[in-house]
Amino acid sequence: MSPYQKMYFIFAVFFISTAILLFVIHFISETFPSVISTTSFAMAVMCFSLSYLYPKFQSNPEKMRNIRNKVIPVTIILAVILSMFKWLMIELGIIYLSIPQFIQILIALMICTVFISFVLFEKYQTGRED
């Protein structure tokens, strides 16, 4: 395990523990999770993904470019779909969110979507090469 991979993993553990602690605090106090809690969760997903992807992208930079070119359009399409789905849920009265809450959840979902897409596309591309 390379030093950068260890660093990403350590940061991921820190962020996920922070997010869990903050989500528990918000659950106990019956309030909507703060920006820092949702962002901490998104950063944990990002760090876990980078911990997994770092050695694979270091060994083959061309593969990283190909995956990046495939991930960007998928992420944009998913972002539009998620935004429309959340807007529809708000309009129908299924969930009640203020604009700042909507934006904070959207940002966290975008970060998670980008990095989970990277992992899935990398796994799919590796599976096709074998």
5-64 tens-digit pLDDT:
899 999 999 999 999 999 999 999 988 888 888 899 999 999 999 999 888 888 877 878
For the chain, the average pLDDT equals: 86
User: Is the separation of the CB atoms in 65 and 122 below 8 Å?
Assistant: no
Q: How many folded domains does the chain comprise?
A: 1
Q: Which two tokens stand for residue 124?
A: 């799919």
Residue range(s) defining the domain that contains residue 112: 3-129
* The amino acid at 9: F
Q: Tokens 């950063």 belong to which residue?
A: 43
Q: How many CA atoms lie within 13 A of 29 on its CB side?
A: 10
Dihedral over alpha carbons 2, 70, 121, 68 (to 10 degrees): 10
